[in-house]
């Protein structure tokens, strides 16, 4: 099963501050390990929302809004696409990733990672039965 891990942005990230070099190194090591084992299929970090735009459709009209965007807690800072045997395995991997942040940045680190199973078009199952 494929899962997406979505890492939420934080205020310092949105302000354009560079991530801690030790954190970048630790995340890089974990990413290499997961890629070599075939678990991580793709990952990436995003620039702050000030470099982005939103395209919205309303009433048949396209509306483009340039960043930055409010509500940092709702913004995505990065992502990873994983192949995991189960939801529990994907959550364990998410916890391992977030633990790196605590280990490097300390107990005061406050962050959020969302784990979502990806839609499988082959079986088309997006029903309640497919959800935990």
* CA 93 to mean position of chain CA atoms: 12
Q: Is residue 128 part of a domain?
A: no
Residue at 127 is within a domain? no
Whichever domain contains 16, its CATH number is 3.30.70.1060
User: How does residue 96 score in pLDDT terms, banded at 50, 70 and 90?
Assistant: very high
Does the residue 93 lie in any domain? yes
Give the pLDDT score at 123: 55
What average pLDDT does this structure show over 10-34? Answer: 91
88 lies in a domain? yes
Instruction: Give the dihedral sign, CA 65/66/69/74.
Output: positive
Tell me the residue range of the domain where 24 lies.
2-120
Whether 130 maps to a domain, the answer reads no
pLDDT of residue 9: 87
pLDDT tier at 129, thresholds 50, 70, 90: very low
Q: Does 82 reside within a domain?
A: yes
Q: Taking residues 100-129, report their average pLDDT.
A: 82
Per-residue model confidence (pLDDT) at position 15: 86
Q: Is residue 129 part of a domain?
A: no
Residue 107 falls inside a structural domain: yes
Read off the tokens for 99.
Answer: 């633990």
Provide mean pLDDT across the span 37-45: 95
List the Cα angle 82/27/45 in 5-degree steps.
70
Flag the least confident range among 22-26, 106-110, 123-127: 123-127
Please count the structural domains in the chain.
1
């Amino acid at each position: 099963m494929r899962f997406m891990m979505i890492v939420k942005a934080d205020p310092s990230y949105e302000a354009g501050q560079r991530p801690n070099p030790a954190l970048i190194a630790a995340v890089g090591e974990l990413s290499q390990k997961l890629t070599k084992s075939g678990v991580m299929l793709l990952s990436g970090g995003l620039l702050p929302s000030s470099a982005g735009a939103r395209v919205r459709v309303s009433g048949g009209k396209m509306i483009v809004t340039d960043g930055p965007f409010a509500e940092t807690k709702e913004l995505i800072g990065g992502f990873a696409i994983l192949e995991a045997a189960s939801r529990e395995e994907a959550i364990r991997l998410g916890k391992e990733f977030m633990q790196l942040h605590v280990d490097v940045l300390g107990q005061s680190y406050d962050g959020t990672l969302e784990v979502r199973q990806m839609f499988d078009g082959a079986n088309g199952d997006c029903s309640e039965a497919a959800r935990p």
